[in-house]
Chain A
């Protein structure tokens, strides 16, 4: 006969463990909750004081002027456009790398690429920034000199421009896009691919018409996570983007939501400081939206 241990000591341990688990789980929830409260509490006052139109829809950012103006429209646009372009550049490269790793690469080559991708994910963002400064910016500057040689109006940036930031961001989202899309591609049932091949389709036709569509929700999740990574990045792009508030045009110096906070929080005071919190709130809302989209994608996938 089996004798169950129901002595008090076991039961006390069980109870204690349960309490510890719950407390730990609660920490995360409490953190998210308090961050939300904090962001709203600190981000909203500036909006009330200066007016939401003046902040969100004005393009003049002159916080230190006699009559200060706190328009962050260009900053928002820069984050949106910069992220969009980075995704436009990074996702195809990442997706094709993933396809190559999942479908085509011989074992030894995959064994070289995969650790390289993982390493890419582990490199601190400041390193990306420094490298971008040393390699990308000089290159962009030369390009800029060529393109705007005859221009009277162009403000030369020394190569610290939107394009540099976009390229750095595109590289930074690669690991996320590659690893998540590769996992999604690998999860496609082999019989599905076999069915396509058995109909006489070529391997390439099969990849584009069957495998990728079958993995689309995973790939979409990869894209959304890539967007999240790009929107939230600050350090690397603050080093390469020139950090001036401008309309996001390729060869203009620009300032992102993140870099706006980073570069001014140290000395800002009063309303200026509060507007920086509003910028933080805008960023926070973006991230929340991205998370919302992601979870609805994942939910949709489960339903299938």
Chain B
């Protein structure tokens, strides 16, 4: 395997007494798409959120083990959460633009990180929207509210918003589950295109999607990572019986 971008070492996470992640050790390769699959409640979202420290916002969460970004401990004392979240962006399940204009949605992140120059912001907005393959659709209505866009457009806008702060990693939690098939396809194409520049981790319930977009796949079950392999191998020759049952649709 090539250079790992993110790795975890015996990551354990508890919601109060509930043991939600059990000894997760994984190496996520740079410039690849890694899919996280598994039945509902197995800890996929929890794992994803532990990679940009979003779990800290939940009361009663306790964590053990390590998460490294480029070899640096992200829970270490030297890591600044703001910087971390700039480097590790996130896209959520529900498309959720901010209640402001399309332009301001994209400019929000850069502004938070101190970009004030109007020309620079214009440039970032255009670049991000182009990267997210939505520029043509919105270039004439940048000052209009983002709430008027369609669901699929909103989600690509949210991807653009995440890209605007120039992250290195993009975490996506079921980014297409609220979208229609056409929009889903557009987002999938986008993901495939983005991986040359970014490392992407995507949670999905859709086996075909995992097979289509990802290079590696991790199968989670009840807080454990049962199997982690290249997508090609995991879907065709799973090592674990439970993986095989899941990917062939026998349960979950």
Residues of A close to B89: CB separation below 8 A: 198-199
What is the 8 Å Cβ interface bit string for chain B, positions 94-113, against chain A (1 contact, 0 not)?
10101110000000110011
B241 interface contact, C-beta 8 A: no
Verify B94–A189 contact, CB threshold 8 A: yes
- Give Cα distance in the complex from A210 to B109, angstroms: 12
Per the bound structure, the CA–CA distance linking A205 and B82 in Å amounts to 12
Which chain B residues border A198 with CB–CB below 8 Å? Answer: 52, 54, 85, 89-90, 162
Cβ–Cβ < 8 Å partners of B54 in chain A: 194, 197-198
Does A145 count as interface, using CB distance less than 8 angstroms? no
Asked whether, in the complex, the Cβ of A199 is within 8 Å of the Cβ of B94, the reply is no
Chain A residues with Cβ below 8 Å from B82 are 200-202
Q: Are B57 and A197 in contact (CB under 8 A)?
A: yes
Count chain A residues whose beta carbon lies closer than 8 angstroms to a beta carbon of B.
19
Number of residues from B at the complex interface, CB < 8 A: 27
Taking Cβ atoms with an 8 Å cutoff, the residues of B that contact A are 52, 54, 57, 81-86, 89-90, 92-94, 96, 98-100, 108-109, 112-113, 147, 158, 161-162, 165
Least CB separation from B93: chain A residue? A191
Q: Is the interface of B mostly helix, strand, loop or mixed?
A: helix
Q: Does A195 contact B (CB under 8 A)?
A: yes
Interfacial chain A residues near B83, Cβ < 8 Å: 200
Summarize A's interface: helix, strand, loop or mixed.
Answer: helix
Which residues of chain A are near B98, meaning CB under 8 Å? 192, 195-196, 209-210, 213-214
The residue of chain A having its C-beta at the shortest distance from the C-beta of B90 within the complex is: A198
Residues of A within 8 A of B (CB): 189, 191-192, 194-202, 205, 209-210, 213-214, 216, 304
Is the pair A195, B85 in contact by a Cβ cutoff of 8 Å? no
Instruction: Judge whether B85 and A209 touch: CB under 8 Å.
Output: no
**CB-based contact B96/A195 at 8 Å:** yes
Q: With a CB–CB cut-off of 8 A, which chain B residues contact A201?
A: 82, 108-109, 112
Q: Evaluate contact between B109 and A199: CB separation under 8 angstroms.
A: yes
